[in-house]
Amino acid sequence: MKRNKIAYLFYIIIALAVFGLITQLFGNTRNFLMGMAMMLGFAVAIFALLYFIVNRSRGSSDEMKKYKQAVKQSQSKYQQAAPKKPTPTPLANRKTNRSRKGKRRPTHLRVIEGNKSKTKGKDRATF
């Protein structure tokens, strides 16, 4: 029951605030807008002041400087170049390039020569 009373009181306060804003907006528009602009200006000024104070104290540490340097170094190391757009080539050149590419052997695969003449005593697959 106590909760309902608090909820009703809250709704009444909100309704009065909305009523006051509407009467100020229609009755005294210029002063209402000036008050809102000043309130917004003060809020931005306080936020900026706090932001720069907190940012200065956080950014001056030696650890933060080392971290920022490491981030820059990592970005420069792992930065990928933008892909180049292929330039159009004549049809005759395209055919010759494709035929050569098809005949190439893969460079990452290689046959390892070994002693194939030796026979082992047991077949390894039967263990």
Range in 39-43, 65-69, 114-118 the model is least confident about: 114-118
Residue 84 is classified by DSSP as: P
Mean predicted confidence (pLDDT) in 52-74: 81
Q: Pick the closest to residue 19 from 31, 8, 9, 11 (CA basis).
A: 11
Q: How confident is the model at residue 94 (pLDDT cuts 50, 70, 90)?
A: low
Q: How confident is the model at residue 122 (pLDDT cuts 50, 70, 90)?
A: low
Cα–Cα distance list, 95 to 44, 92, 99, 103, 104 (Å): 65, 6, 6, 13, 15
Mean predicted confidence (pLDDT) in 109-115: 74
Q: CB of 40 within 8 A of CB of 48?
A: no
What percent of the chain has pLDDT above 90? Answer: 35
Longest dimension (CA), the chain: 107
Q: Pick the closest to residue 25 from 34, 15, 16, 13 (CA basis).
A: 34
Question: Around Cβ 13, how many Cβ atoms within 10 Å?
Answer: 10
User: What angle is formed at CA 77 by the lines to CA 72 and CA 78, rounded to 5 degrees?
Assistant: 105
Per-residue pLDDT tens over the stretch 10-51: 999 999 999 999 999 999 999 999 999 999 999 999 999 998
